[in-house]
């Protein structure tokens, strides 16, 4: 609900459980008054107090009033160069050479429905569930107009933010910084939680008190990165899964980003999130408009769990555009770990035959099917089927797979090229490259300049021809290196600061075109696993390969950290062979299956090498996942333990929206002698209902949550258990 009090220049946003308010105060500076648990209404600007502070200057309009300073008041969208020395949201280079921005409130309007952003991902929905707020700010001296956009999804406590900057003057302006989100708080006793890691160990939570000064995470790799995720949390210092006030903030963007939290000299704090200013400088000609990516925030007065569930609901229902919506996505088998790039048609068919016996519904042919691709040193960029490996092309192979009762999918990496390829030999100027410098290589590949429409058009034409050659229902879209020597031969020297952002816009345009031209195609995102796992890609790819690390025990940590923002239905997770390729660890097949059910579930192994008992276990796991698909993929998610605490087990729970079903999964750690007998407390059940556990007994939800459930005694390391609860 959006309430505009035009007379008092007061704007209030209500969601089901929270209230967000701003007010244009003295001199039309837009101040932030409140964001927290829902309040009945009223003007909360009484909370903002003015006081003269040394070295905190006053705007010229204030005259001799030394108590009003931009340096001390909470602002809705922070400026720079005019008296606020804290984190800026925007920075301009004006025709006169100055780098200032002084924005003042002009007007606001509200309407039903959700705004959209040209060429950028955004939450979506109809007039019955969304409202849009537009706030107009203007810097009269610079002749710059800034439109702040807010989307309110009341039932999920979700508020989105986006920004449009327009040059309404006669001179050229350069936009050097443009954040999407600015949140000010009149307190700094908060914790800052970020999700960090590395390739094969992504999105591990890191929590620290806000300290004086600036703390930040971001990426300058050209993708959102394995190292830092564009999702952060500010919270009470004693907040946990079920208690405390917390604010989650997500940037829907797949390139360079920066999230900064600052505790200032007067124990206030500010969170700013958006495009990274590194290698960013956008030229705005007269009349031109720049649109910053969307950010989304959820405030939970009841801990991390409620925050996560609200994000999950919003992402599943109002961000992801799933071509399989309303039906179950298929259980897949990917051949990579079985064969890598060394295969032919008969080898693939032999694996597919075995896979069909496990209940697999989608067979995915990974890297190695195109061009001269027998290893990772050649072939990228030549998206033509290698008929020496696959005689007759996909037109011959795919029908053989479909006769086995499975759909067919392929792997692509459209943004990359090998020097040993026909594409590179014909167009060496199509890569990202700085004149006078030799390009860096990563995984023996270079990066195509996806900021250029002619490059995208060529690659798209090849891939479209492949898709039209046979019935292909799935694509795994990979990206296996970071961007270096970021330069485009298609842009002049004074616009090279636009390349990184234009690259991401090109990726989005390519993905949108794939979706439009192949409406039934399921696209799974990937960047060496989780290097581009963000809300931006989820708008185009409803699931993303969570990590190249498929070790079941490491995956408990990776999937745990990912779950703070992203739902289970987005996490690509597979059962793989042991010893694991990343860790060398050996875990039971039962445990590997339970861990993979924390995601989309599938297989990445050669089933022909499995024993009869292993095949039977895999068949049973596949049937169990299919039976409980809706509960796992669409139920409310509860974290029951923290795997980073190295406790005796990791446990999580899925609860149906009507709370009549639940599935609790648990994986133990290493076994020890004289181990204690443990009890697990379930969550999210209806206290008044009685539940059977694995088809037996009858216990009230109240009992199972408060008294708990006795856990089995494991016999060995890394044992897995599941408890299915159904109301009587």
Domain check: are 233 and 376 in the same one?
A: no
Distance of CA 282 to the CA centre of its chain: 25
- Indicate the residue among 318, 353, 372 that finishes a domain: 318
- Residue 77 is part of a domain; what is its CATH number? 2.70.98.60
Domain check: are 32 and 168 in the same one?
A: yes
Based on the residue annotation, tell me whether 534 is a catalytic residue of this protein. yes
Tell the burial category of 457 from Cβ atoms under 10 Å away from its Cβ (0-12, 13-18, 19+). Answer: exposed
Distance in angstroms (rounded) separating the CA atoms of residues 286 and 268: 37
Domain membership of residue 372 (yes or no) is: yes
Domain check: are 100 and 173 in the same one?
A: yes
Other Cβ atoms less than 10 A from the Cβ of 6: the count is 10
Considering 534, 604, 606, 653, which one is annotated as catalytic?
Answer: 534
Please give the pLDDT value at position 695: 96
Domain check: are 54 and 202 in the same one?
A: yes
Domain check: are 60 and 172 in the same one?
A: yes
Please give the pLDDT value at position 326: 86
- Residue 704 is part of a domain; what is its CATH number? 2.60.40.1180
Domain membership of residue 496 (yes or no) is: no
Domain check: are 256 and 205 in the same one?
A: yes
Domain membership of residue 324 (yes or no) is: no
Please give the pLDDT value at position 646: 86
- For 94, phi and psi rounded to 5 degrees? -90, 165
Domain check: are 234 and 187 in the same one?
A: yes
Distance in angstroms (rounded) separating the CA atoms of residues 570 and 600: 7
In the chain, how long is the greatest CA-to-CA distance? 86
Q: What is the total residue count of the chain?
A: 728
Based on the residue annotation, tell me whether 43 is a catalytic residue of this protein. no
Which residues face 215 on adjacent strands? Answer: 261
What distance, in Å, lies between the first and last C-alpha atoms of the chain? 38
Provide the number of structural domains found in the chain.
3
Considering 551, 614, 653, 661, which one is annotated as catalytic?
Answer: 614
Q: Cβ neighbours of residue 317 under 8 Å, at least 6 residues apart?
A: none
pLDDT beneath 70, residues of the chain? none
Please give the pLDDT value at position 89: 98
Distance of CA 612 to the CA centre of its chain: 39
Please give the pLDDT value at position 433: 96
**What is the H or E stretch that residue 625 is in?**
helix 612-627
Distance (Å) of CA 525 to CA 131, 471, 542, 626, 702: 30, 20, 8, 22, 41
Distance in angstroms (rounded) separating the CA atoms of residues 304 and 311: 11
Domain membership of residue 643 (yes or no) is: yes
Domain check: are 669 and 606 in the same one?
A: no
Please give the pLDDT value at position 142: 94
Domain check: are 92 and 176 in the same one?
A: yes
Please give the pLDDT value at position 62: 86
Please give the pLDDT value at position 516: 96
For the four alpha carbons of 664, 670, 671 and 677, in that order, the dihedral sign comes to negative
Omega before residue 186 within 30° of 0, cis: no
**What is the H or E stretch that residue 459 is in?**
helix 453-468
Angle at 196 between CA 440 and CA 161, to 5 degrees: 95
Domain check: are 289 and 195 in the same one?
A: yes
Angle at 240 between CA 543 and CA 202, to 5 degrees: 35
Domain check: are 52 and 185 in the same one?
A: yes
Which residues face 494 on adjacent strands? Answer: none
Domain check: are 410 and 285 in the same one?
A: no
The domain of 425 spans 333-345+364-481+513-615
Q: Cβ neighbours of residue 274 under 8 Å, at least 6 residues apart?
A: 89, 163, 177, 178, 179, 180, 181, 251, 253, 257, 258, 292, 293, 295
């Amino acid at each position: 609900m959006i309430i505009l009090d035009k007379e008092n220049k007061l704007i209030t946003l209500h969601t089901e459980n929270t209230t967000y308010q701003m007010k244009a105060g003295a001199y039309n500076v837009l101040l932030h008054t409140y964001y927290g648990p829902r309040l009945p209404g009223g003007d909360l600007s009484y909370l903002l107090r003015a006081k003269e502070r040394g070295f905190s200057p006053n705007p010229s309009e204030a005259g001799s009033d030394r108590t009003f300073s931009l340096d001390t008041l909470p602002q809705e969208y922070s400026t720079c160069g005019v008296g606020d020395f804290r984190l800026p949201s925007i920075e301009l280079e004006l025709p006169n050479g100055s780098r200032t921005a002084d924005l003042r409130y002009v007007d606001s309007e509200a309407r039903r429905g959700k705004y959209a952003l040209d060429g950028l991902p955004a939450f979506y929905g109809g007039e019955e569930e969304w409202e849009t707020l537009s706030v107009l700010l203007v810097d009269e001296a610079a002749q710059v107009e800034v439109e702040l956009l807010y989307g309110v999804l009341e039932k999920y406590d979700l508020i989105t933010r986006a920004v449009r900057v327009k040059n309404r003057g006669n001179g050229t302006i350069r936009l050097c910084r443009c954040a999407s989100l600015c949140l000010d708080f009149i307190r700094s006793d908060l914790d800052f939680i970020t999700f960090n890691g590395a390739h094969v160990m992504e999105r591990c939570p890191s929590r620290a008190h806000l300290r004086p000064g600036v703390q930040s995470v971001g990426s300058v790799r050209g993708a959102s990165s394995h190292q830092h995720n564009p999702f952060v949390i500010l919270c009470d210092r004693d907040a946990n899964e079920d208690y405390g006030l917390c604010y989650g903030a997500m940037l829907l963007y797949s390139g360079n980003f920066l999230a900064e939290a600052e505790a200032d000299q007067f124990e206030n704090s500010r969170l700013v999130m958006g495009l990274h200013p590194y290698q960013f400088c956008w030229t705005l000609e007269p009349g031109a408009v720049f649109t910053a990516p969307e950010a989304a925030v959820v405030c939970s007065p009841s801990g991390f769990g409620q925050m996560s569930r609200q994000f999950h609901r919003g992402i599943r229902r109002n961000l992801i555009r799933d071509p399989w919506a309303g039906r179950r996505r298929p259980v897949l088998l990917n051949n990579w770990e079985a064969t890598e790039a060394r295969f032919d048609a008969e080898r693939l068919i032999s694996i597919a035959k075995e896979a069909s016996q496990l209940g697999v519904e989608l067979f995915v042919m990974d890297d190695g099917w195109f061009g001269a691709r027998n290893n990772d040193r050649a072939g990228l960029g030549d998206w033509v089927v290698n008929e020496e490996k696959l005689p007759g092309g996909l037109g011959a192979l795919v029908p053989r797979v479909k006769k086995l009762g499975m759909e067919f999918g392929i792997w692509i990496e459209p943004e990359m090229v090998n020097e040993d390829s026909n594409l590179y030999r014909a167009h060496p100027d199509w890569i990202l490259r700085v004149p006078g410098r030799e390009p860096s290589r990563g995984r023996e590949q270079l990066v195509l300049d996806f900021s250029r429409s002619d490059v995208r058009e060529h690659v798209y034409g090849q891939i479209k021809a492949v898709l039209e050659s046979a019935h292909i229902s799935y694509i795994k879209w990979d990206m296996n290196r970071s961007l270096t020597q970021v330069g485009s031969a298609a842009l002049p020297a004074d616009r090279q600061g636009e390349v990184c952002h234009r690259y991401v816009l090109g990726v989005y345009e390519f993905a949108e075109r794939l979706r439009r031209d192949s409406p039934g195609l399921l696209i799974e995102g990937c960047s060496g696993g989780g290097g581009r796992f963000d809300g931006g890609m989820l708008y185009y790819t409803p699931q993303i390969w969570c990590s190249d690390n498929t070790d079941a025990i490491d995956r408990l940590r990776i999937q745990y950290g990912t779950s703070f923002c992203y739902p289970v239905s987005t996490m690509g997770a597979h059962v793989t062979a042991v010893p694991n390729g990343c860790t060398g660890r050996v875990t039971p097949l039962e445990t590997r299956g339970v861990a993979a059910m924390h995601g989309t579930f599938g297989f990445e192994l050669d089933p022909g090498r499995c024993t009869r008992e292993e095949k039977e276990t895999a068949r049973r796991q596949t049937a169990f996942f299919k039976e409980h698909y809706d509960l796992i993929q669409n139920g409310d998610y509860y974290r029951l333990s923290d795997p980073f605490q190295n406790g005796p087990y990791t446990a999580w729970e899925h609860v149906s929206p009507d709370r009549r079903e639940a599935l609790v999964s648990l994986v133990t750690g290493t076994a020890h002698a004289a181990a204690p007998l443990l009890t697990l407390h379930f969550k999210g059940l209806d206290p008044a209902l009685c539940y059977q556990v694995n088809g037996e007994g009858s216990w009230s939800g109240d009992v199972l949550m408060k008294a708990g459930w006795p856990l089995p005694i494991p016999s060995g390391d890394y044992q897995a258990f599941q408890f299915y609860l159904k109301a009587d």
